[in-house]
Amino acid sequence: MMTRTRLAGAAALAVLAFACAAQAQTSTPSAPAASAVDPRCAALLGLRSPHVRIDAAMTMKPGDRQPIDAFGLPALPVSTPYCRVSLTLTPVAGSEIHSEVWLPAAEGWNGKFAAMGNAGFGGSLGPPRLSMRPALARGYAVAATDMGHVEPGADGKTAAWALNQPERIIDFGYRANHVTAAAAKTIIAAYYGHAPRLSYFQGCSDGGREALMAAQRYPDDFDGIVAGAPGAAWTRLMTSFAWSWKVAHQNPASRLNAANLNRLQSAALESCDALDGVKDGVIEDPRQCRFDPASILCSRDAAQGCLTPEQLSAVQSLYGGPRRGLTGAALYPGFAPGGEAQRAGWDLWITGDAAQHPDFARSFFANFVFNDADWTLDQFDFDKSFDMARARMAQITDSDNPDMAAFKASGGKLLMYHGWNDPALPAEGTIQYFEKIRDVMGADETDQFARLFMVPGMGHCFGGPGPNAFDSLAILDAWVDDGSAPNRIVASKYANDLAPLLNMPTGPTLSTRPLCAYPAVARWKGEGSTTDETNFTCAASTER
């Protein structure tokens, strides 16, 4: 689970290759011209604070290269001058947290602070650096942490660091972001001469889990929080990953190939795409969809990619979600239909030979829960193993407490979103959590401080066939700073979905669509272009 998934690998590198090639045509790859070191930046090396060590304070100038150290990406050019502070935090014995704080020049600072969430199991500062760059360019002082452990080159995909390491697990669960925020505010005040006027947190996937954890455990740390595709019920989510292995990998006859996924997606869209009156390759509200994958059994359907009985059982189980072994009680939602074959879809996360769900599940249960590096998924029991994970880890890793009274009382605002086509984290899980907040806090009370936006066609944190790009930090800032509560967000579909993530030109806008505050959904007015958001209105869902 990446902050922005795996940036679709080769596509991201292609974007960067183009950018680097373009830059090479206009500049010579030599060391940047020397300029005066920012004395206030250098002075931060002398800053003293309990359990905080400043390891480096570097003046970064336009033309310098900022290392990313994630997803195989090269160092990216600096466009905004800033002070890059590296620090180590040791709040307790057995804890060593590495963090960075980036401080724009005083004349470019907007007076605000934004912390960025990590990805997967953390282990480096690479993934959050991608989110830090655009926020820095807009004047924010920004910070992020490696979550309390170092796994070079792993891109958050392994939890070997957690084996018999209870303090590291606590750092990952909730402590690392809290102590990083406190240290960052101290550094910001020392550099600028005063504290930030407003503080925000932004994260997606595990970063979304971290975001909700901040709101629940530390309601005074941030004035506003963005939680995208949050893995809030972490122990249940990891159980659903083990379910993916059980139903789609354990029996070779149940394996789904590319032809199966293409046929499955085509049949789902044929059944449900036009339910909203617009046939656009996107299911607006999959809860309305009553697609039955049995319709493409090979005994009924001769098309390439038809399903065998074993494959049908796997698909039905993936749509249905994990269940207890003894009672069949649901443990977590399944996946929505309509995005099975999209890029970075089920093949990457669930069904492929190198699918990420099984790896995440094995690593979590082996190292977090059972403290046994040799533990394997064929030992998983959907009663005993699940209950053990809940008993040992839920209080540390799970951020699905629906009681947000303290965060609301502090004046905090919470902006949540989730893509319906997310192949990594089932979107319905976020709806279930938000409904629990409404049940506990009351729908009207919740509306005063928290909004959820479901994104049709969006994959894991970004991308997908539908309009999926929007500036969540700007929307949150308008809500917190100006009181403009979001009821409708305009999302755009660009020619290159990856460009906004890399703070690069997006190319032409292919379409726009409103995202509506849950439980409303977008409805076409019946006239005008279906690629123009002005021809849609937000209306009550007709969920069946």
Predicted local distance difference test score (pLDDT) of residue 1:
53
- pLDDT tens digits, one per residue of 169-183: 999 999 999 999 999
- Residue 502: pLDDT band (50, 70, 90) is confident
- Stretch among 13-17, 239-243, 532-536 having the lowest mean pLDDT: 13-17
Predicted local distance difference test score (pLDDT) of residue 504:
79
Spatial separation of the C-alpha atoms in residues 464 and 457, rounded to whole Å: 5
Mean pLDDT (whole number) for 415-434? 99
Single out the residue of 268, 269, 272, 261 nearest to residue 340, CA to CA.
261
Spatial separation of the C-alpha atoms in residues 252 and 260, rounded to whole Å: 14
Spatial separation of the C-alpha atoms in residues 447 and 439, rounded to whole Å: 12
Spatial separation of the C-alpha atoms in residues 175 and 420, rounded to whole Å: 30
- Amino acid letter for position 191: Y
Spatial separation of the C-alpha atoms in residues 434 and 492, rounded to whole Å: 25
- The widest CA-to-CA distance across the chain, in whole angstroms, is 75
- Stretch among 89-98, 296-305, 431-440, 456-465 having the lowest mean pLDDT: 296-305
**24 vs 264 pLDDT, higher one:** 264
Whole-Å CA distances, 56 to 83, 102, 182, 338, 455: 10, 12, 18, 48, 40
Is the pLDDT assigned to residue 344 strictly greater than 50? yes
Instruction: Give the rounded distance of the alpha carbon of 296 from its chain centre.
Output: 33
Is the pLDDT assigned to residue 447 strictly greater than 80? yes
Per-chain mean pLDDT for the chain: 92
Predicted local distance difference test score (pLDDT) of residue 11:
36
Contact between 426 and 333 (Cβ < 8 Å): yes
Enter the pTM of the model.
0.93
- Domain spans in the chain, listed from the N-terminal domain onward: 36-196, 238-356
Nearest 5°: CA angle at 418, between 206 and 102? 50
Contact between 78 and 62 (Cβ < 8 Å): yes
Helix axis angle, 384-397 to 234-248, nearest 10°: 140
Percent over 90 (pLDDT), the chain: 86
- Residue 498: pLDDT band (50, 70, 90) is confident
Spatial separation of the C-alpha atoms in residues 425 and 230, rounded to whole Å: 8
Which residues lie below 8 Å from residue 481, measured CB to CB, with a gap of 6+? 198
Is the pLDDT assigned to residue 308 strictly greater than 90? yes
- Amino acid letter for position 142: V
Classify 153 as helix, strand or coil: coil
Which residues are catalytically annotated? 205, 422, 460
Is the pLDDT assigned to residue 21 strictly greater than 70? no
Within 10 A of 197 (CB to CB), how many other CB atoms are there?
11
Contact between 499 and 11 (Cβ < 8 Å): no
